[in-house]
Amino acid sequence: MSKTLTPEKLQDLVAHVLAAAGSAQAEADKVAANLVLANLSGHDSHGVGMVPRYVDAVLEGGLKPNTGVRAGVDLGTMLALDGQRGYGQIVGEQAMRMGIERARRHGSCIVTVGNSHHLGRIGHFAEMAVEAGLVSLHFVNVLSRPVVAPFGGGDGRFGTNPCCIGIPLEGQPPFVLDFATSRVAQGKMRVAHNKGERVPEGYLIDAQGRPTTDPGVVVVPQGEGLFGALMTFGEHKGYGMAVACELLGGALTGGGTWHRPADTARTVLNGMLAVLIDPAKLGTRPAFEREAAAFVDWLRQAPAGQGHDRVRIAGEPEREARARRAREGIVLDDATWQEIVDAGRKVGWAVAG
C-alpha cells in the first residue's frame, strides 16, 4: 500500500507538522518546500521522510527552530558562518545568498558553515548558485551515526559525506552533480527497508563486517545497538573523497569531525565548505560558455550504450523526475506516511491525508 499526494498537498501538511514543532510559518513553509522539491527531484531519501527525524531532533533539543546563521569571520571573499543548529534548509540558503552576493561582487567567495542541522539535498544550494550564473563546489560532512566504513575497514566510521558541483551552461539547463560518497545514500536504505526490498551486492556490510544485501542492517539495530555499514562508492577513490569531505566540511569549517562511538541522538549536523566562482569576473566567460556547450554536445552525440536510452549529464535525471512527479504526484510508502502521521501526533497535530 502506498499513498499518492500532490506536491501542494504534501507541502501543506508537512508545513503544518513543522509549525506544530515550533517553526514560525515562514520557516515551516520554506523547509516543507525544500523537502517536497527533493521528493519531486526523485530523492525521496532527502524529502518529507526526514520530517519524523527533524521532529525528534527538535524534541531532543538538537535542532533549533527559528534560528539563522551567525557570521564569525567576514572578509568579503571569505565567510565563516555558524549554523547554530538551525534547520539546514534555512541556514544553508542564508549562507548561499550571502556567498552568491559576495561572489558576484568580488568574483569568488569561500563560505564555510559549521553546526548546521541537516542541509538536505546539497544540489539545492548548487542550483541557487548556477541560477546566479556562478560555478559552485560543495564539500559536506555529516555528524550523525557513523554509517559508512572506511576502505579496508569492517565498521562505520563516518557519514555519507556528500559532494556537489554546479556549473551553469549557456542556453541550457546546468550541470549539477550531487552525490553521497557512500555507495548509496543512507536515506535510500531507509526507503528500501520500509518497502521490504533487498539492495544490490557491494552496498553494505553487516554488523560483523560481512557483505549483505539487507538494507535493514543500517536501519534497525542488529543487537546491542550494533549496526552494519554502507561502503563508499568507487572503492579507495570514493573513500578518499569521503575523507576530504570530512576534513573540509568538518575540520576546516570548525563544525567538527566524527571521532567517537555511535550514540542514539536523532540530530544530524552538517558542515559545508562552499566555493563560488563567477566566470564573468574570471575573464574566461566567452571561452567557458563555448567550450562547455561544445563538450556537452559532444557527450550527447555518443551512441546509447547497451541498456541505456541515451547519454545524460548530471542534473538531468532530477529535472526529468520533477516533470514526471509534478504530473503524477508524489508516492509515499505506508511506513513513511505512518511515520509522518506519528511525528505530527508527537507535536499535537493530527495529519489528515
Ligand X SMILES: NC(=O)c1ccc[n+]([C@@H]2O[C@H](COP(=O)([O-])OP(=O)(O)OC[C@H]3O[C@@H](n4cnc5c(N)ncnc54)[C@H](O)[C@@H]3O)[C@@H](O)[C@H]2O)c1
* In the complex, least distance from residue 281 CB atom to ligand X, rounded to whole angstroms: 26
Chain positions 278 to 317 lying near ligand X, rule: CB under 6 A, are 312-315, 317
Residue closer to ligand X (CB basis): 20 or 134: 134
Burial (CB count within 10 angstroms: exposed 0-12, middle 13-18, buried 19+), residue 200: exposed
Q: Please tell me whether residue 87 binds ligand X under the rule CB under 6 A.
A: no
CA-CA distance, 116 to 82, in Å (whole number)? 7
39 is an interface residue for ligand X by CB under 6 A: no
Work out whether 229 is an interface residue with ligand X (CB under 6 A). no
Closer by beta carbon to ligand X, 45 or else 267: 45
**Site map 101..140 versus ligand X, x via CB under 6 A:** -----------------xxxxxx-----------------
Only one of the segments 58-66, 179-187, 276-284, 328-336 lies at the binding site for ligand X (rule: CB under 6 A); that segment is 179-187
Stretch that binds ligand X, among 182-190, 253-261, 289-297, 324-332 (CB under 6 A): 182-190
Contact indicator for 136, 278 with CB cutoff of 8 Å? no
**Least distance CB 229 / ligand X (angstroms):** 14
* C-alpha–C-alpha distance, residues 244 and 217, integer Å: 26
List the one residue from 14, 128, 130, 184 that touches ligand X (CB under 6 A).
184
Q: How many residues make contact with ligand X (CB under 6 A)?
A: 28
154 contacts: CB under 8 Å, gap ≥ 6:
205, 208, 209
Query: Looking at 178-186, 220-228, 240-248, 282-290, which segment touches ligand X (CB under 6 A)?
Result: 178-186
274 residue type, one letter: A
Nearest to 340 by CA among 352, 328, 329, 330: 352
In the complex, which residues of this chain contact ligand X (CB under 6 A)? 43, 45-46, 118-123, 142, 160, 162, 164, 176-180, 184-185, 188, 270, 312-315, 317-318
